[in-house]
Every structure is written in C-alpha cells, then in structure tokens.
Amino acid sequence: MNYHILTLFPDMVRDGLNTSIIGRAIEKGILSVEAVNIRDYTKEKHGHVDDAPYGGGAGMVMQAAPVCDAYEALCARLGGRRPRVLYMTPQGQVFNQSIARELSKEEELVFLCGHYEGIDERALEMIVTDYLSIGDYVLTGGELPAMVMIDCISRLVPGVLNNDLSAEIESFHDNLLEYPQYTRPEIYEGRRVPEILLSGHHKNIDLWRRQQSIERTLKRRPDLLAGARLTDKERAYLQNLVSGEENG
Ligand code: ADE
C-alpha cells in the first residue's frame, strides 16, 4: 500500500507515522508514505497557497491550482495512474471499519488535507473521489484525520500486524466489541482472572468470550447489535440479557 498525503504540513504526517507498527511496516517495505508539500506547487512569487474568499467572510481559502498541480504531478510520477483522492472534511461520510476494509484493498491512496476555511470548491470537484470525516467535530486541519485513517487501514494490510488474526478478531468484527483480555498475574489487587480462562478448555473459553462480546456490546454500543451476525443460540443469550436488564 502506497499512501500519498497532500498537505501544507508534511513534517507533521511524516513524524506521526514513522513510529511503532506503521513505522516498522514502512521499514519492511509493506507500506510507503509520501508527504507532498502543496506549497511546492504554487506559482505565486511569495509562495502563497491561499487567498480571501470571494463574497467575503472570515479566514482564507486554499487555492485550486497548487492542489490540482500537486495531484497531477503525482499521477505523472505514477505513470498516468489516477488513484482515489480522499478529502478529509467534517462534511464527509463518517469513517468506520468497513470503509477501512474496502480502502485497504487499494494499491495507492491519496489523502488531501485542507487547512484554514477549506479548499476552493473547483479543485475538489476536479480531483476528489471520496469525502471522509472522522467524526462530528471540527479540527484545524486534515492531517490528524489522515493519520487516523492510515493507521486503521494499515493494520488490515497483510503483513503489517505480526499476527494477521488479530486484525480479524477485533472490536467491530461481526459488529461486536472485543471480549475482555487478561494477563499475568493471576490475582491483582485482590481481583482474580476469570476461572474459565485458566481451565485450558478451549471450546468453553471460545463460548465465554463470545458471550462476553455480546454482553459488552449490549452495554456499551447497543446500536451495533442490529448489524451483528449471531447464531440462534447467541440470539437467545442476548434476549436473556435484555430481559434481565428490563427486569433488573
Ligand atoms: N477536518 C476538520 N475536521 C475534520 C473531521 N472531523 N474529519 C475529517 N477532516 C476534518
């Protein structure tokens, strides 16, 4: 997977993505991150990339030309391929695990990060394929959302996690939250690890974990349950929990 980030703050995304699991995957050559400085594509003699909005109003708007020129130069470097351009904006579709899964199948992805009051609409019309948000709140720029999405997409790219199974058995897999995890010591501050996890009985442990996932999802994110794939037995278990909640 090759990421290309169009930004006015290339150091921010480079520094943010070169550590830990993502940094190691870049070193291994499974991922690459190219931060393109939009300012390098201005033809303005003072290096400006923004100007006042037509019609008046607060703030500055990023001009269309440097943004489009940065993208066209990138496509030329890619031998004429035109990868998807994801524009980071609170007006976009809210990013989630299933969008991440879909994007992880692409070979190249371009993240367009705006600043100030946004980018001239004509540039967006010309190059953007996807409008994406990380939630209903407003940040100062698209760099943090791009890093959030890159982190999430990357762990789904084969070879990035040491154990590819952990990308699958995760919160939101099957629309259920992950079960609770424990490690040594067996007793901490008087709190014991659930007995079943010490039993060595893998079938019972799997059943217990699945039930914990269902219970946790009901408590913390009941909205997810509508899309969860449950067996008849699991559905009955959930129904029992719901009746318990209603009665207690
Ligand atoms: N830019 C500013 N706020 C944003 C958000 N919530 N998601 C994506 N991009 C943004």
**pTM score of the predicted model:** 0.93
pLDDT in tens, 66-86: 999 999 999 999 999 999 999
Percent of the chain residues topping a pLDDT of 70? 97
The response to whether residue 133 sits with its C-beta less than 6 Å from ligand 1 reads yes
Residue 123: pLDDT band (50, 70, 90) is very high
* Alpha carbon of 6 to ligand 1 centroid (Å): 15
Which of the listed residues 5, 133, 147 should we mutate to test ligand 1's pocket, taking the one with most ligand atoms within 8 A of CB?
A: 133
Residue 117: pLDDT band (50, 70, 90) is confident
* Alpha carbon of 169 to ligand 1 centroid (Å): 28
pLDDT at 169 over 70: no
Tokens 């509508």 belong to 226
The response to whether residue 140 sits with its C-beta less than 6 Å from ligand 1 reads no
Residue 247: pLDDT band (50, 70, 90) is confident
246 in Cβ contact with 211 (< 8 Å): no
Residue 168: pLDDT band (50, 70, 90) is low
Over residues 166-171, the mean pLDDT reads 66
pLDDT at 165 over 80: no
Q: From CA 216, how far away is CA 210, in angstroms rounded?
A: 10
Which pLDDT value is given to residue 51?
96
| Mean of per-residue pLDDT scores for the chain | 95
Which of the listed residues 111, 134, 144 should we mutate to test ligand 1's pocket, taking the one with most ligand atoms within 8 A of CB?
A: 134
Nearest ligand 1 atom to the CA of 136 is 6
Residue 170: pLDDT band (50, 70, 90) is low
CA distances from 175 to 11, 124, 138, 170, 216 (A): 36, 33, 27, 10, 12
37 in Cβ contact with 8 (< 8 Å): yes
Cα within 13 Å of Cα(44), Cβ side: 14
